[in-house]
Each structure stands twice: as structure tokens, then as C-alpha cells.
Structure 1
Amino acid sequence: MTTVHLGAKTWVFLNSKRVVAEIIAKRGSATNTRSPMPVSSGIVSHDRRSLLMPQDKWAEPRRVMHSLLSGTALQQYGEWQETESTQMMAEYVLKPRAWYRHHYRYANSVVHRIAFGERLIKSTKELEDMQNCVTFFVGSIGTSVIDWFPDLDRLPKFLQVWRYYWKPLGDWNYDVYRSWWDPIRKKVDAGKAGPSFVRDSLLHPETKYTGNDENAMYVALQLIEAGSDTTREALNIFVMAALEHPDVFLKARAEVDRVCGVGKDARLPRLSDMEQLNYICAMAKELLRWRPIFVLTPDHTASKDIEFEGYVFPEGTGFVINEVPVGAECERPDDFWPERWMDGHETDIAHGLWQFGGGRRICVGYRLAQRSLFINIARLVQCVDFRPAGFYNPKVLNLEATDEPFPVQVTIRSKEYEELIFQEATAAEVLEDAKLVRDNIKL
């Protein structure tokens, strides 16, 4: 553990799996809340992003989002994940140079369908705006000195000169959310919306969600922005791993070929193959350990004094999972080595891995994320070859880039696999949609 004083706050960085498990998981009831962030949580997020909410405000959106973890919901969402993945594979064949764009289209479309119950029909500008909502919000966390001295938020509004800088960003974010929210809200009210998280959980009378319309909007749109951006980034990391560790890639392909056939006898992997494709499941976990998307998790703030192994941490102390040393606390930490996860828990992506947070504030969508990573990694391993197309730094992924994050040459494994992909896309009725994506991407 390392104690750091940041402005008026005290953060304790947790640098090993053992202390993370003890503080975040076992003492989760006392480390559930968040420290105040008047800029990133307040002004930028209108006090409605549950990621940074204190315990008393976070519990209600958390409760309604638990429906995402039910077995029935996962089965329904799984059908959509497979359909969108099939379209992504067709996009790979039709426009291989835009591989990174296909990752984002897939991720955003899946979570959009889960949240709103309809396939994604958004312009490139609308998609970029949604991605920027995430980028600008994350970039605001801790950027302002006010977040480190939150008592300054008590000053009269006319003295809070920082508001003139941050308020336009918060209002722009709100307007983007509203442009996505209003159409689906009208469909739900008119009885014209399909099955979805919004219709069946968030706005359903039996859920008794106590938040107002704006609260509901932020719950739904957070699901979209978080679910789409992290899946996109993880798939980009997978491509980097394929460039850096082709031996692992080929071992994974051999597993998929064993289960799904080869050449003319092949079929695309399905979510029902998860129990038989343990190495693919282990690859998904290793991606998040090897190049963690979140270097630091938001602080878990103590709601009361905590005593731990002779140390006393007063109420208000923030505990932060320091993902890099925690992930490196293993054999051969610099290697991409999925075998480290072959321990009988391959199909539980949160077991032994802290990228989704932990304790009671673990990301509620982690099972959805696992299934998206599994189906796409398995299919890309089976059908696509990746080669470097220029110089790159394997430790710099530029995860927030809207352009190609590193140079990659993409080719389909063989004509047989092109035909397989087109057959599956035709059967799923997404081939024409993939062609539209190809025609609308300008590179």
C-alpha cells in the first residue's frame, strides 16, 4: 500500500491482489462510497453519473441495472451479440483497413440494442460525439484542482470562476445524451418500443425506479457509452496481442478449429461454445491484465474508520486499485500468456481480475463484456490474419484514437472463410448493413 496526499484528499494505492481483496471485496460494505468530485461528477456529469456517485445516490441506479445480470437477459442479449458480431466479420471482409472502426460499430450497436431495443442507426458524427462523451468525461476526472479541494465548491457561484470553463462541456454532454434519449422515451411512452433495458427495467412500472426522467437518461446513456468504449478498446488490445504474440494467436486458432471445424467444414463460433473454448476465455482475461484499459480505478472511499493489519484508515480515506502492479504480480508479467488463467475459472472474467473494479461497486455489465469479447476474439482468431503494417510501439495503444491506433495489415484466412462469413451474414440478414458500413467509411 502507498499513501498519497492529493490536495485535501488522502488516497491509498492498493498494489497487490491480497490487499485489494481484503479492502475492496471483504470490507466492501465500508468502502462503497466515492469522494466528492465537484467538477467531473458535478458540473460535467450534472451529478448523475453513477460511476462517481456517493453510496446514498448510487444504490438506486445500481439496483435497476442488476437486471443486466439475469440469465434470461443474458440469453436474449446473446442473440444480439452474435448477430452484431456476424455483421462485424462481414465488415472485416468488405473493408479490412477499417478494422478499428468495425470494433466500435459492433460495441456501440450491441449496447444500443440492449439499452434501447433497436439496431443502431446513427451517423458518424453522432457516434463520434458519444465516444467523445466518454473521452471528455474521463479526461475531466482530477483535471481541475477543485476536485482535489472539494470544499471550494461551497464558495458562492459568482466566485466559482472555473464553472465558465467546465459548464459548456457538461451542457454539451447533456445535449448529446438528450438527442439519443428522447426518441426512445417517446417510443416507450407510445407503446412502440421493443424489448430492452429501458422499456423492461428502467421505465417499467413494476421496477419502481425512483429517479426522474433525467436520472433515467443518465443511467441508460452511461450503459451505452461505457459498454461500447471499453469493448472497442479491448478488441484493439487483442489485435496488438496478435501482432506481438503470433504463437498465442495460432494456439487459440487451433482450439477454435478443433471445436468449430476447418475450411469447408467450419462454422463460426457461438456463445454456446464458451465452455469448450477455455483458451479463448483465458485470452480475454489476459488482454485486460496485459494492457489494462483502466490504470487506476475510481477511489473506493471509506464510509467509516477502518482498521487493517495494524493500520487505521479514517473515514474519508480513498482506496484506489493500482492496476499495473496488481496485474504484474504474477509469473512472466510482461508476456501475453493466457495459460496463467487456465485454473478452472476461465469462464468467469472477474475471478482474479480487477479491471471491472470489485466489491459491491463492480461493473454490473462485466458478464455482457465477457461475452462480447469471447465471441469476437474466437471469430477473429478463426478467420482473420493480422500483420504489422509499419512501425508501432507495443506499449502505446492510443486507446482513445478515432483513427487507426497502430498500423495493421488485415487479411482473411482464405476464400473459404470469406464465403463462410458471407453465408452467415446473409442468414442473419446483416450483409446489406455491412455493405452500407463499407460504403460510408472514407479512408
Structure 2
Amino acid sequence: MALLSAYALAVSLLTVPLILHLFRIGRRETGLPPGPSTLPLVGNLHQLPQHGMHLQFTTWAKEFGGIFSLKFGSGTVIVATSPRAVRELIDQKSASTSDRPPSHFSNVVTGGNNLGFARYSDYWRRGRRVMHSMLTKKACINHLNIQRAEASQLMYDYLVEPKDFVAHGQRYANSVITSILAGTRSPHRTSPLVTSFFKMQHEWTNLLEPGAHPPVDMVPFLKYIPGNWKQICAKMKASQEGLYGGLIDACARRVESGMRNGCFLEEVRENKDVDRGLLRGMCSALMEGGSDSTSIYLQSFVLMLVAHPDVQVKARAEIDSVVGLDRLPDIEDMDNLPYVSAVIKEVLRLRPITALGAPHYSTQPEIIDGYMIPKDSMIFINQWGMLHDPDSYDQPDSFIPERFLTSPFGTKPGADDTSRSKDIFFGGGRRICVGMHLGQNSLAITSMYLIWAFTFSNAIDPQTKKPIPVDINEYDISLNTIPKPFKCDIQVRSEEHKYAIEHAFADARLVFAPFEQDLRNIGHVGI
């Protein structure tokens, strides 16, 4: 009996601390920012929606403030919604908040090479420097001819196939970045590069959306439980190797055939410090960022114009007063188009391309507002909550471009703008979008061209002969903020505009020619 009692005591001495430790998992540690109550082991995981996590974050921000914390198992998540918290944590403390969190899904699919999700390391810094050389504000001046030409085709495509406006925007955005990056363009919305990329990208963003799959990075044992994400990862890995590896190989074949066109990969392939893995990592980051952002913006842009014909009238009158009919708008005109600029900014504010953005990750402990931000914390910039804050914006859920005519940030009188950044749409800190200048030019050129050339209105129901309404709140939001499919009517404004569009598209063929030398092989790049 004594022996049994001693054994029971020993088991108790070992078990009780283990149980106590398990119950501490998921609990919010002292010193963290406030947040919703937690449960043992899971923390706040049980409170996360499968989709639309930005809305839950925004609700919590109203209750707990501009910076709050969550527990995902033993891991800590920090959500910054106030501009001041974002500026201090992401910009001023960027030396310790520029990492990305571990991503099992990304590692399985990309081997950790995708520079958009890569950890903050010498590898990332090396790739970032190389990409930056291609995308500085000065370097992007050299890309304007391609953007103008592709935007001319965008207008022509709207003219001849207006019902496929979404696909035309995707073609435009994808073709711009593949021309600059790999020297290959897509002449049609059904070109293999376009269709393959956007099919793959839809599956990729769904895989990475927080809450859509088991949180294997926060709860590691979930990696060993069967799930469909494993098959998705295997398929995605093959697709990305075919697409990005195929572009690299196609560029190499073209160079060997003496058909150089000055694209980025031609130069970078000769850099001995850049191996194939880094080349793929740059291709994935640039194509995913460049193709998605502009094409998603264009969908929201058209939706807002259809829903707000009064905005079209004002923007069109401004463009006509500056540009007239003798020429197309150009990037230099933006300085004289404050209302058009306000329309662009309001589309981005009301429907930011990414509601949360890619999370940051802390490599050192930091203090903000007296709260501890532990090492190894995942940090979200809640763009949605920041840009829909009723304390900062009058009628934050309404489309009102005029707000940007009275305030640089569109905020209402009395709002504290000292910590706001005009570039918040492109992220922050050392992880701010490397293609920001290229993206800004695309948004400006396409917006001016489309307002100048077309009238956007409700489609007419063939049965009832009545307008089909659009709903600016009908969105699919995962990693990105994308309108659900909607119908609209797109009409060229006049015969003069039609002639100008056709003439501009004809002229663009000279710009396109160097990027169409090897299109016969595009279907064989492994896509």
C-alpha cells in the first residue's frame, strides 16, 4: 500500500504541473493589450469566423481600442487599427516588426521562396534590393509606355467586348507586369498566362486566408491531422512551378534565340547572386502583387461609377476641361485633376484591396502605449477598420470622393491626421509594397482613360426592361476585397472617342511588338 501511495503521489506531482501548464495555454499574459476573453488551450480561435475576419477585428477594435490582442493557442496576435499604433509599431519599430510569421502552407508550396511571404532575412533583403531597382519611382517612368499601351488595349477591349470588363482588367494588370518582368505579354483575355494565373491565384488566396483552414502555425499538431489543405498545397506547388518556372525558362530560350527586349529577368538572370529559387520568389511576389491589386481595383472602380452616376458626371467634366478630345489623358494630367484623384482615393478607402494585408511578425519585444508586444507576435494592420472608422470619417460606409478635396486623407474636421500615411493602401514599414509606384501609375492611367472614354450605367433587364441595380456591399473578402459578379452597361461616349480609342490601340502595336516575339511558345511554358 505504501508503495502504491508513493507511486500515486509521484504521478500527481508530475501531472498537476502539466495540467496547470495546459490551462495556461491560450490565456492572455499580463501586460498584453486588452482583448476578448479566452478559453484554455484555444485562446480566441473559437471566436474567429471562417471568412471576413476584418469585420470581427473591426468590431473588437470598437470595444478594446486601436490596438488589442488575441491568443491563438499559445501564440499572440496583435491587431492595430489606429493610425498612430500602425505608425509606431510598423514604421517606427520596423527593425523588429518587418518579419513575416511562419507559414507552413507557404513553405510547403513555395519552399519559403515567395518574397511576399518570406521571412525577414538576408535572402529577403537581397531579393528586395533587386526588385527595388526595377521599381523605383524613377525606374517606373521607363514603364509608362507599356502601361499606356496596355491601357489603350483596355479601352479597346471595353469598346468591343464590354460584358467581359472584369477579364479585360485582369488581362491588363497581368500583361503589364509580365511584360516588364519577363518580356512576355498577353494579347487576349483568354491568353494562357492570364487564365492560368488568376485561376491559381484564386486558389492561393483561399488557401492563405486566415480562418479558412486549420491554424497549423499556431497549433502545430494540426499539421499531422488529415485535411484537404494537403492536396491543395500539392496542386498549388505544381501550378506555381509551372507558371513562374515556365516564365523563367521562356525568357532564357528567347535570350538564346537573340530576341532580347530589355525585360527585368534578362538582366537578373546574369546576376550570380540570384539563383533560380530567388528568381521564382521575385516572379511570384511581383506577379501576385501586380496582377491582383490593379485588376481588383478596376472592378471596384467600375462598380462605384455605375452606382454613382453623379460622380461620373463630375469626373468626366473635369477631365474634359483639362484634356478635351484632341488627345488621351496622360499621367502628367493628374496634377490638374483633383476630383479624379479623389475618386481613386475613395475607391481605395471604401474598398481597400486587402482588408488586413499580409501579417507582420515581431522579432524582438516592444512596448507601445504601455503594453507589451512580445517577440514572435503576429501583427495585423486592420486597414478596413482604420478606413471605416466613424470617428475619422463622416458616413464611412458611403462613397463620397469629395471628402478628399477638403482633407488629404479624406478625414472629417478635427480628426488627428498626424500619424496617417498616404501610402497605407500599400502596407507599411520595410514591407511596404515594392511595386507601389508602378501600381499608382496604373491606377491613375486606367482611371483617367476609362472616365474619359466611357459612360458606365446599370444594365437593363431584357425581360422587364428595367435597370438591374448594383450593390456596393456585395463583396467576397478573403485576403483580398473583390466585388461579387455584377452586370453593367458600358458605352463609348461618342464617335470621336471611338476613333481615338481605335487609333491609340493601333499605335500601341509598335510598343507591343517586342513582347510578342515568342508568343507561340507561351502555351508550353509549363502552365
Asked if these proteins are the same fold (TM beyond 0.5), I'd say yes
CA deviations over 1:233-265 (Å, ceiling 9, x no partner): 10010011102222222211111111101xxx4
Partner of 2:491: 411
Structure with higher Rg: it is 2
2:332 to 268, 272, 284: 272
Matched letter for residue 195 of structure 1 = G
What amino acid does structure 2 have at the position aligned with 1:240?
Answer: L
SS at match of 2:457: strand
Identity %: 28
Change (3 A) 1:121 1:82: closer
CA contact (8 A) 2:307 2:470 kept: no
Partner residue, 1:38: 104
Identify which of 112, 115, 119 aligns with 1:47: 112
- Aligned: 1:375 with 2:442: no
**Matched residue, 1:436:** none
**Whole-angstrom CA distance in 2 between matches of 1:259 and 1:317:** 50
- CA offsets 1:45-102 (integer angstroms, 9 cap, x no match): 2211111111013212111111133344212100110011111111111112222221
What letter matches 1:366 in structure 2?
A: M
State the one-letter code of the partner of 1:198. L
Stretch moving more, 245-254 or 367-376 = 245-254
Partner residue of 1:363 out of 433, 438, 441: 433
Shift of 1:13: 1.1
For 2:216, the equivalent position in structure 1 comes to 147
Measured after TM superposition, the shift of residue 338 of structure 1 is: 2.4
Query: Which of 65, 88, 97 matches 2:163?
Result: 97
Q: Which structure carries more relative contact order (alpha carbon 8 Å, separation 6+)?
A: 1
Which whole-Å CA distance do the structure 2 matches of 1:242 and 1:179 have between them?
38
The reply to whether residue 120 of structure 1 matches residue 200 of structure 2 is: no
Alignment match of 2:353 (pick from 290, 293, 300): 293
CA 1:147 to 1:58, structure 2 compared with 1: closer, same or farther past 3 Å? farther
RMSD between aligned residues: 2.9
Q: Which residue of 2 aligns with 1:192?
A: 259
Hey, what does 1:107 align to over in structure 2? 173
Aligned partner of 2:88 in structure 1 is 22
Distance in 2, Cα, partners of 1:403 & 1:284: 16
Partner residue, 2:370: 310
Provide the C-alpha distance between the structure 2 equivalents of 1:110 and 1:149, rounded to a whole number of angstroms: 37
Question: Residue 245 of structure 2 aligns to which amino acid in structure 1?
Answer: R
Gaps of 5+ in 1: 434-443
Of residues 50, 72, 79, the one that matches 1:6 is: 72
Q: Is the 8 A contact 1:345 1:351 kept in 2?
A: no
Which moved further from structure 2: 239-248 or 271-280? 271-280
Tell me the CA shift for residue 222 of structure 1.
2.9
Q: Residue 405 of structure 1 aligns to which amino acid in structure 2?
A: P
Bigger drift between 114-123 and 379-388 goes to 114-123
Q: 1:401 and 1:426 mapped to 2: Cα distance?
A: 34
Tell me the secondary structure at the aligned position of residue 456 of structure 2.
strand
Distance 1:162 1:42, change over 3 A: same
Contact 2:178 / 2:287 at 8 angstroms: preserved in 1? yes
Give the paired residue count. 420
Q: Does 1:86 align with 2:142?
A: no
Tell me: CA distance 1:173–1:153, structure 2 relative to 1, closer, same or farther (3 Å). farther
Is the helix fraction higher in 1 or 2? 1
Alpha-carbon contact 1:289-1:353 (below 8 Å) kept: no
How far does residue 150 in structure 1 lie from its aligned partner after superposition?
6.0
* Residues 270 and 30 of structure 1: CA distance in aligned 2, closer, same or farther (over 3 Å): same
**Alignment partners' CA distance in 1, 2:303 and 2:226:** 48
Do the aligned residues in 2 keep the contact of 1:397 with 1:406 (CA within 8 Å)? no
